[in-house]
A = this chain, B = another copy of it.
Amino acid sequence: MARPPTPLRSLVVRVADELRARIESGELSAGTRMPSVRQLARDRRISPFSAAEIYNALVAAAVLEARPGSGYFVPSRPPTAVTGTSGADFPADSVWERRREASGRHIQVDAGCGWLPDDWLYADGVRAALRAVARQSPLRLEGYGNPLGLTELRAHVARLLDLRAIAAREDQIVLTQGASQALDLVVRECLAPGELAIVEDPGYPPLFELLRYRGVQMLALPRTAGGPDTEVLAQLLKRHRVRCLFTNTTLHNPTGTTTTLASAHRILELADRHDLTIIEDDIFADLATRTPATLASLDELQRVIYISSFSKTLSPALRAGYLAAARPLVQRLARTKVMTCLGSSELLEQVVLQVLTRGQYRRHLKRLQDRLAGAHARVVPGLESRGVELAFRPLSGLFLWARLPSGDSVGKLWRRALNRDVLLAPGELFRPDARATAHWRFNIAQCDAPALHGFLDSL
């Protein structure tokens, strides 16, 4: 009963490409209302599903605008901050594509990746925790557990948050599959298609993908040395009805900067005046040597949803994260969590709890922070002596945001590095509009490497 692959797919792609070309050429002018899904389906003899899929893809690419209840429109203005003039010769339009192009190659130096090397992580702690859980009696395997996640781990997270001056009870905490699932839950529950959200520029690419997938329009907020640019934030909020702001507070990805107390205070003032929900993604908090001020601690989780995880200190392979928020919102988010995955893995959460409570964890953290500080002290001079220009001077954390000493195009540089088995992360991946930039993200823990130095020396 095998069937040949359907030729429909190529028809759908053709229709999507044609519409995109007509919009981008200006043939369909700004403000034009597109045919309804059903009309498009009839005109092109495709299914309504395929027609809806085409429009979704064009909305996701910001070529069309969805207005709930009104239809699909050619954007009537160049969107204020998010205009797309992508670096034309660079083929990777997303982290996914970048991974694909590089996959199958032997990469010696993953200079711009988002994680710590294997031997910086806490293998001994995870091993001991696995053994401790194996000894538990009874080993709790029944049912889907608490919708919020393992109660004891939530109680422990509440204590960790208390150390960050964030008062949250265990029933205000939802355990998630990494910070990513927390972001996904928030985007699904707090933003409707067509709504506006402010994101940092540069910022976190998977967040941009999530928002595009949801049909949310993004406004770009530049990142400065002291956090989000609050002047631009004030202007954006004056001009637009914005629902949510997403921001990294501590050791921001990809710039390494940390939001100052004064900026945090100003952001909350503006949020209050404009009834803005803030999603504070603070997954790098434990890499900081001093406890930084968070928006959540100032605001007491009134309009801030606080997200963090153990991916940067234990291991990303655990997929253990959490969010904290006001109680009614937590109920809604937990309900969405149950609907989409029935519950998180309480077995895994037992392992995480064991890692965190087995005494050596604070020592591991201290060692990790020291090691990062040491890497900064070695890597920064090594890069600068080779002409790399840092945009900011973070003292800790994983990332540097920097220019290369070359006038070559981003695509050319990326491929030259790849030919030396060095994988670079071009800055445009981290921009909500994918606009070209001469900056690149470097991972401080991966850059003390001869192959990278060789590449830089060749420029």
Contacts and interface: CB of A to CB of B under 8 A. Distances in A.
A311 to B, nearest CB: 8
B3 A302 contact: yes
B118 A142 contact: yes
A53 interface: yes
Q: Determine how many copies of this chain the complex contains.
A: 2
A142 B127 contact: no
Interface in A60-83: 67-72
A195 interface: yes
Most chain B CB inside 10 Å of its own CB: which residue of A3, A9, A99, A142 = A142
A56 B1 CA distance: 41
Given A1-B302, A298-B1, A342-B206, A141 B53 contact: no
Interface stretch (A15-23, A128-136, A413-421): A128-136
Contact of A37 (B48, B69, B272): B69
A376 interface: no
A142 B317 CA distance: 6
A417 B253 CA distance: 54
Interface in A165-224: 177-178, 180-181, 184, 191-195, 206, 209-210, 213
A63 B336 CA distance: 20
Nearest to A184: B340
A141 B9 CA distance: 38
A140 to B, nearest CB: 7
A328 interface: yes
Interface stretch (A109-117, A152-160, A362-370, A392-400): A109-117
Contacts of A191: 49
A28 interface: no
B126 A194 contact: no
Interface stretch (A85-93, A226-234, A345-353, A422-430): A345-353
Interface string A317-355: 111100000101000000110111111111110010000
A139 interface: yes
A30 B89 CA distance: 53
Contacts of A241: 47-48
Contact of A134 (B127, B144, B194, B210): B127
A205 B86 CA distance: 44
A326 to B, nearest CB: 8
Contact of A347 (B194, B209, B213, B315): B315
Given A130-B134, A134-B131, A339-B213, A345 B328 contact: no
Contacts of A181: 340-341
A361 to B, nearest CB: 15
Contact of A130 (B130, B194, B314): B130
A52 B348 contact: no
B243 A49 contact: yes
A144 to B, nearest CB: 5
A263 interface: no
22 contacts: A1-B268, A3-B272, A34-B69, A36-B68, A36-B70, A48-B194, A49-B191, A52-B68, A52-B192, A69-B71, A70-B71, A121-B141, A123-B139, A123-B141, A126-B141, A128-B134, A141-B314, A143-B316, A144-B317, A213-B336, A315-B347, A316-B342
